[in-house]
Structure 1
């Protein structure tokens, strides 16, 4: 004889009502986030005219690992470098000096060339190899 009443309450969890609520919340947040505008300044930018610059010459100075110098593929001794650079810059005062130094030379050798170009009031860039 079993006198205990049998429980008709299901102990299983029904997730369908929870998923309905989650989807409704998701739709609500998606709609609200697209309506919100970010605060920004409304600016009227000035119109500009692009000016065509004349092509500036690039003077390439190469320094190899044995400290041999070349200006635009012409080998020259270090002592003649300032005068050669001056003559090239006299022909084109807006020229840019590009220094291509071997990776095994000392930094002071590159800085010597930078100082020579700086005395000539030239714009100087250091050429690097693209990293792979």
Structure 2
């Protein structure tokens, strides 16, 4: 008399849907990483050896090569730059203004922008790219 043994149950993990999930996660993180800093206008920044990142609340002031001024991606005329900047500050002197200016613009253009900060006693930081 032969006794048949029952087949043992083997646990299996279905991995066919894991690749789909990984693909969607990859797409999600790629899209989110491109939206990480929406207030930046693309330009070539000056290079520096020591870069420091700011985690504080800041206002982005960008100057393009054709001397157009933007505060948080909103175009502003140079004559109205100071008043617009002060209205964005909302009376908070603790906020930092990050100046993004192309490396090939004249120094006088940078000084003109920084004079606004000196007159109003504001904190200005010049954005650079790693060397």
Report the CA distance between 1:64 and its aligned residue: 0.7
Spell out, residue by residue over 1:59-98, the C-alpha distance to the aligned partner (whole angstroms, 9 max, x if none).
1110111000000111111111010011112343211011
Q: Report the RMSD for the aligned CA atoms in angstroms.
A: 1.4
Q: Is the 8 A contact 1:57 1:92 kept in 2?
A: no
Q: 2:5 maps to which residue?
A: none
Length-normalised TM-score, structure 1: 0.54
Q: 1:87 maps to which residue?
A: 87
Report the CA distance between 1:119 and its aligned residue: 1.2
1:118 aligns with 2:118: yes
For structure 2, list consecutive stretches of 5 or more residues without a partner in the other structure: 1-54
Report the CA distance between 1:56 and its aligned residue: 4.0
Return the alpha-carbon distance in structure 1 between the equivalents of residues 90 and 118 of structure 2.
14
Report how many aligned residue pairs link the two structures. 77
For structure 1, list consecutive stretches of 5 or more residues without a partner in the other structure: 1-54
Spell out, residue by residue over 1:85-131, the C-alpha distance to the aligned partner (whole angstroms, 9 max, x if none).
11112343211011100112101111111110121111111111111
Return the alpha-carbon distance in structure 2 between the equivalents of residues 107 and 96 of structure 1.
21
Q: 2:97 maps to which residue?
A: 97
Q: 1:38 maps to which residue?
A: none
Return the alpha-carbon distance in structure 2 between the equivalents of residues 98 and 110 of structure 1.
12
> Structure with the greater relative contact order (CA < 8 A, sep ≥ 6): 1 or 2?
2
Kindly name which structure, 1 or 2, has the bigger radius of gyration based on alpha carbons. 1
Return the alpha-carbon distance in structure 1 between the equivalents of residues 92 and 60 of structure 2.
14
Local SS of the residue matching 1:116: helix
Return the alpha-carbon distance in structure 2 between the equivalents of residues 88 and 119 of structure 1.
16
Superposition pairs of residues 1-132 of structure 1, within 5 angstroms: 56-131=56-131
Q: Is the 8 A contact 1:85 1:117 kept in 2?
A: no
